[in-house]
Amino acid sequence: MKHDSYSDDEIAQVLSDTRVFAFVGASANANRPSYFAMKYLLGKGYKVIPINPGAAGKEILGQKVYATLAELDGPVDVIDIFRNSDAAHAIAREAIALKDKLSLKVIWMQLGVRNDGAAAEAETAGLKIIMNRCAKIEYGRLSGEIGWAGVNSGSISSLRPKLAAHGVQNHVIPGRG
């Protein structure tokens, strides 16, 4: 499959069909992209499991941190890779080996992360691949919350946002407001 671009419907379908993300490379540093992406998705009702060997056993945003994907019991819908493109291949191979145990559907590589070899192996194993995209940005953009510039575009349209068309609303976690 080509990975130079994805249709809005493809991205919206992934975001509507999934509920649990494992963030490989999650950080407790509030200035890191993985931290604010995790906070955002938690606020939208997704479960996000942080994976970071240096912080294993601690918590990030109230979520227990695991050292490796192998420690997870599942289900995990999406492995979201917040590591560099070279590291993505080994992470994808680990995810492929665990796909049945975790009921895995998607490997998602963050902005700036692309590994075509990892993508080919994952697709051969039956997994969906998204590369060089941020789930937080895509959710916000497709829900109509933000424009490409990262802020509300201020435009008025009769068109439904893509995620609303796929049945995704702001899912509030009970007890979190």
Confidence at 157, pLDDT banded by 50, 70, 90: low
> What pLDDT is attached to residue 145?
81
Question: Cβ(50)–Cβ(65) under 8 Å?
Answer: yes
Confidence at 74, pLDDT banded by 50, 70, 90: confident
Confidence at 154, pLDDT banded by 50, 70, 90: low
Does the pLDDT value for residue 50 go beyond 80? yes
What does the alpha-carbon distance between residue 144 and residue 130 come to, in Å, rounded to a whole number? 20
> What pLDDT is attached to residue 177?
36
Q: Helix axis angle, 8-17 relative to 135-143, nearest 10°?
A: 110
Q: Specify the CATH superfamily of domain 8-134.
A: NAD(P)-binding Rossmann-like Domain (3.40.50.720)
Q: For the chain, give every domain's residue range.
A: 8-134
CA nearest neighbour of 139 among 168, 113, 165, 173: 168
> What does the pLDDT look like over 10-49, one tens digit per residue?
999 999 999 999 999 999 999 999 999 999 999 999 999 9
Beta-ladder partners of 50? 23
